[in-house]
Structure 1
Amino acid sequence: MDSIATVLVLNTDKDLVVENDRFILQPNDVITVRRNPAYIEQQKVTVEGEVYYPGTYVLESKSEHVSSILKRTGGLTALAYSKGIYLIRHTAQDNLEEQAIIQNIQKNIKDTTAKVVEDATKTNFRIPINLDKVLKKPGSIEDYQLLDGDQILVSWIDPLVKVSGQVLSATKTGFIEGKHLNYYLTQAGGTAERARKSKIYVLYADGHIKRVNNGFFGLFRSYPNIETGAQIIVPRKIEKVGMSPTEVIGLTTGIISTLTLIVLTITSLRK
């Protein structure tokens, strides 16, 4: 006989009363209560910033989008910055992704100061929301489908541009339409001696990043446009560490010793 257990399927009512029969439990019995496949726990998102009714919202369906949630908040206030709306989504891969971002900064910008790493990693976990496209085409690819735990932040209109990194004096200055990136660097006293001008980049209010385009061998260099609420970051140059006098003496002594040994060996072979 191959049977190793007896499986009994019991039907119960809403009060967990067994229908039609009664069973007396025996030692080693195992009771399994299956999950109702139709049951779904409430999923919530938060909306912060310049909307009429910020707070926590329960998703009405599995396919609710950004446009729907923004509508439920009553819309954007008069102080809202339409180009400063972004989504933050936390996943189990965040730590790995953050390490990858830091490695990319170290490889491409070569500036690992705490401020640069903090700003770049923080910004990279923002998903920019293009409000114009979201409102024109609800449900489109730009109108992101929301997940439990998502955060939407609607920034206020910041009339300032922040300049930091390798400048003489990190500062905030008023945004002026059409002004070039170099104008804002001038407001910070210009770049410092260790500034790496070819790697300057701009963090925008919605989280996306643009870097200086160096063109052909540094010629025809082009710069990102500046918008209100943006931040200009000037990384530092790679520090080239020279050899100390002790290291130079040690290296020279080693070379001389090696040459002397070669000469003695050749002389010995000729005898």
Structure 2
Amino acid sequence: MKNLFEHTSSPWIRYSSYEYRTAEDGTLYIVVSADAKPEMYNPMKDAESLVLDAVNIGLQVMHKAPEDELKSMVLRFINSYGFLGFMTALPTTAEFITYESVYLPKNHFIKEESLSTESYLDYFYPFDKMDFHKKGVESSWSVSDKDGIAIALATGKNPQAVTMSFQKEYAERYDWLVKEFSDWAFTFTTSFLYYMDYDSLDEQTKKLYRQGMSAFGGISPTYHISLAENAPVIVWNFHSLLVMIQMCFSFMLTDSDCDMKLCKHCGRAFIASRKGNEFCSPKCKNQYNVYKTRAKKNKTDE
């Protein structure tokens, strides 16, 4: 997988601090903290950790973890990696600014198939609005913040919407983030349990598993061919962290050399260092054996 995605068109932006903020309608968002500073980084260098962290948050959602714990985990994820970039992941193209309207395939978050650009942007700028103007397919926007200008210059080759999503005014809904994480966890759990229990499943149950997996999918990243020093290479254009995670996750699930598993003790997703490894750490293995021994002893005492 690392070789496959060795070349990407641009890094991602994360800020030094994020926080929760509630809109007037009661919707909970994550926003960039007022004094936060932007940082450019390459998420592909931590692709496996990024995917595992996302899936493990989703597993906690599935396990009905306390809301305060979930909020803490989601905020910690955003602080580590930045926003998922829903704004550029949901439309049919990240270049939606250049169209008269924003066109959306079916998704879990917005029911409308098309929206005006201004109405669509309202989902992501619920507090402070961008200085954005549009008439037909023509649009303009400006930024006066020093950090915002630096980001615009550094990411100028990206679609305009990507650069706009890196500005401090941008925000993402907490419930959308939780839903996306839980969808990834459901996909992983379905795949893992299907093969673990394959011999004991009846055909109807197998069919349900396969139907559940077939629902997983999304917008694929675009790419272009670049003439590198020795040979042409594929350069992937990940215009949202969400699409990057989903693409890497898909390859991790299907890569025979990447043994992604659920820990038999703590239930967390992990990459097994060798075949047959059922625990994410020696600690989990020891605790599992201790609890198993105690259970046997208690049963014997009865």
Output the TM-score relative to the length of structure 1: 0.27
Structure number with greater CO (CA < 8 Å, separation at least 6) is 2
When Rg is computed on C-alpha atoms for both structures, the one with the higher figure is 1
Q: Choose between structure 1 and 2: higher helix proportion.
A: 2
